Structure 1
Amino acid sequence: MSKFGTLVMGPAGAGKTTFCSALIQHLQHNRRSCYYVNLDPAAEDFAYEPDIDIKDLISLEDVMEEMGLGPNGGLIYCFEFLLENLDFLTEPLEPVTEEYLIIIDMPGQIELYTHVPILPTLVKTLMRGSLNINMCAAYLLESTFVVDRPKFFAGTLSAMSAMLMLEMPHINILSKMDLVKGTVPRRELKRFIDPDAGLLDDDPARDITGERGEENGEDDDPTATKNVMGGSSFNKLNKAVARLIDEFSMVSFLQLNAQDEDSVGAILSYIDDAIQYHEAQEPKEPMDEVENDIGYGE
C-alpha cells in the first residue's frame, strides 16, 4: 500500500503554516483526506489541529530553558531527540492509507536543510522502510525577496542547497504573491521564476558609488562599514552566487497566493505529479446505471 506526502519547508516568515492551512482547506473542499503533521517545536497557533504535534514529545521553549540553548541550537537538539524517538512519528503514520495526503509542516531555521544531516536522515526514514512514503519537498520563499535581488539569490541558493541535501522530488514556490502584485512588472517577474543571473546587472538599487570608489582605491577594504552590504566586493559575491545557481540550472519557482483557491489547487497538482499520486490510484468501477443501460441495449 502506497503512502503520499509533502514536506513543507523554507525560511522563517515564508508562510509555510499558512500554506499548509490553505492546502488542507482545499483538500477538504475537494473531498480528499489529509493527515497533518507539525514538526515545528516552537509553533503555537494552528488553523487546523495537527494529527501529530512534535510538541507532545518535546518543545523548543522547554529545551531552551532546561538546556540553556539558543533558538537554533535548541531546534537542532529537538530534532536529534526526535530521531532518537522516531516511533513517536512512524507508529501513527503506519495505518495511514493511500487516500490521505500527509502534510508535514517544518520549522523555519534553514540550518536544518542546508548544514546538518538531521533532515536527510529523517527523510530517508520516511521514504524508505515500512512507511515507504512517496514524498516531495515544497520549499517556500517569500515573493517580497524579489525587491531585494541579492536577498532573492541568497534565498534561491538555500533552496538549491536543500535540493542537493535531501535528494528527493522537489518543487520551489514563491509565496505571498499578492504582496508584490502591482509592484513588480509581470515581464520582469518572469525572470525571477527562472532565476536569471543578469538580474544583478540591471538592479535599480545597485550601489553605483561602490564601483566609483573602487576606481579611486576607496573600496579596497571589504570589511569597511559602507562595503559590508554594498560596494564591489559585495557585488562580486552576489554575481558569483548567481552564476553558481545558473550553472546548476536546478531552481525554478511556482507562484502561490494562499488566499486564492485556484492558486493553491495549481500547486497541489504539481505536488501530485511529483509524488505520482494519480498514477497509483485504482481505476474506478463503471456505475451500475451505465452497465444496466448497456444491458438494455443488447
Structure 2
Amino acid sequence: MRFCQLVLGPAGSGKSTYCTAMQKHAEAINRVISVVNLDPAAEAFTYNAAGDVRDLIQVEDVMQADDLDFGPNGGLVFCMEYLVEPDGLDWLKETLGDYDDDLILFDCPGQIELYTHMDVMKSLVHHLQSWDFRVCAVFVLDSVYMVDAAKFLSGSLAALATMVQLEVPHINVLTKMDLLNKSAHQQLEMFLEPEIHELLASEHNVSRFNKKYHKLTYALGKVLDDFSLVRYVPMNINSEDSLTDVLIQTDFALQYGEDLDVKTKDFEYPDADDEKT
C-alpha cells in the first residue's frame, strides 16, 4: 500500500510552500516525504522534486506549437489532459517507482477549474488508486484572504466543489498563518469553527451586495453549517507543532500507518555466566 496527497488550491495559495514545509518537517521527524511537481507552468520551487511533469510536457511548448492555438489556461489544461493519457501515465508510473509505504505529495496546478468541474484530476485519482495508492486531497487556502464572511463562503464553496468532484478524503488547510497580524488572528478564530449565523450578522458582512442577496448568501452558508462539510486546519510553517497537527490530520485521512508492519526487536536473554558475576 502506498499513500499520496494531492495538494490543490487557487494560484498563489501556498501549495508549493506547503510541500516544502512538509518535506523539511518529515526530515526532522525521521520520515520520508517525496514531492512530485504536476504543474507544467511552474517556474521554480524550493522542495527536492522526485519528479517534474515539465520533463514530460511544458505549457510554453504547447503554446508555441504550430498545430495548436492555446493561451496559458488552455495550454495548461492540454498538458494535464496529456498527463492522464497512456504516454503521460507511463511516465508518471515510472517516475513514482514501486516502493511501498511511502508518502508522496503531488504539487498540482492552481487553475481551480481542474478540480471543480473538469474530469482531469478525477481521472488521475482513479489511476493512482488502481496503482494501489490511498489518495487524500489537501485543499490549500490563503488565510490572509479568509478574514471576512464573503471570502470565507467563496473559499468554502470552492473547497466543497472540489470535495464533491474528487470523492476522496479531504482536508482543508489555511496557509500563511505566520503572515497574519494579531488583529487578523483574532478575526480568523471565528472562521476555524464557524457559526454561519454569526458570520452573516458580523460587521464583515455589511455591504450593499450582501444585503440585497442576503437570502442567497444565507442559504449557501446554511448548507455548510447544517452538514458540517467544510472545516479548516491552520498551518504556520514556522511552527513544528503546527506542521505536526496538519500531518496528523492528513495521516488520519489516509489511514497512514495502520497497515505498516510493527517493528520488533528480538529479546536477548542474559548469559548464565553473566548472571553469576
What TM-score comes out, normalization by structure 1 length? 0.83
Deviant stretches of 4+, over 4 Å: 293-297
**1:247 maps onto 2:226 in alignment:** yes
Q: SS in structure 2 opposite 1:280?
A: coil
With 164-173 and 139-148 compared, the bigger mean Cα shift is at 139-148
Q: 1:233 aligns with which of 192, 208, 212?
A: 212
For residue 242 of structure 2, what is the aligned residue in structure 1? 263
Deviations 1:185-241 (A, max 9, x none): 54x53331133322021134512xx3xxxxxxxxxxxxxxxxxxx353344443332
Whether the 8 Å CA contact 1:154–1:241 is kept in 2: the answer is no
Whether the 8 Å CA contact 1:149–1:203 is kept in 2: the answer is no
For residue 292 of structure 1, what is the aligned residue in structure 2? 269
Deviations 1:218-269 (A, max 9, x none): xxxxxxxxxxxx3533444433321222233211111101122221121111
For residue 222 of structure 1, what is the aligned residue in structure 2? none
Deviations 1:66-97 (A, max 9, x none): 33322222221111111112111122324122
Q: 2:270, 2:72 → 1: CA distance?
A: 66
**1:54 maps onto 2:60 in alignment:** no
For residue 162 of structure 2, what is the aligned residue in structure 1? 162
For residue 220 of structure 1, what is the aligned residue in structure 2? none
**1:34 maps onto 2:33 in alignment:** yes
**Residue identity in the other structure for 2:145:** F
Q: Structure 1 residues 293 and 267, CA, compared in 2 at 3 Å: closer, same or farther?
A: farther
Q: 2:99, 2:63 → 1: CA distance?
A: 33
Q: 1:159, 1:59 → 2: CA distance?
A: 27
Q: SS in structure 2 opposite 1:279?
A: coil
Q: Structure 1 residues 148 and 64, CA, compared in 2 at 3 Å: closer, same or farther?
A: farther
Identity in percent? 41
For residue 251 of structure 2, what is the aligned residue in structure 1? 272
For residue 121 of structure 1, what is the aligned residue in structure 2? 123
Q: 1:108 aligns with which of 103, 110, 130?
A: 110
Q: Structure 1 residues 247 and 291, CA, compared in 2 at 3 Å: closer, same or farther?
A: same
Q: Structure 1 residues 237 and 32, CA, compared in 2 at 3 Å: closer, same or farther?
A: same
For residue 91 of structure 1, what is the aligned residue in structure 2? 94
For residue 224 of structure 1, what is the aligned residue in structure 2? none
Q: 2:270, 2:151 → 1: CA distance?
A: 63
For residue 146 of structure 1, what is the aligned residue in structure 2? 146
Q: 2:91, 2:249 → 1: CA distance?
A: 30
For residue 216 of structure 1, what is the aligned residue in structure 2? none
Q: 2:145, 2:270 → 1: CA distance?
A: 59
**How many angstroms does 1:60 deviate by?**
1.4
What TM-score comes out, normalization by structure 2 length? 0.89
For residue 201 of structure 1, what is the aligned residue in structure 2? 201
**1:183 maps onto 2:183 in alignment:** yes
With 10-19 and 139-148 compared, the bigger mean Cα shift is at 139-148
Q: 1:135, 1:294 → 2: CA distance?
A: 50
**How many angstroms does 1:284 deviate by?**
1.3
Q: Structure 1 residues 107 and 45, CA, compared in 2 at 3 Å: closer, same or farther?
A: same
- The runs of 5 or more residues in structure 1 that have no matched partner are 211-229
Q: SS in structure 2 opposite 1:17?
A: helix
Q: 2:204, 2:262 → 1: CA distance?
A: 54
Q: 1:39, 1:190 → 2: CA distance?
A: 33
Q: Structure 1 residues 292 and 22, CA, compared in 2 at 3 Å: closer, same or farther?
A: same
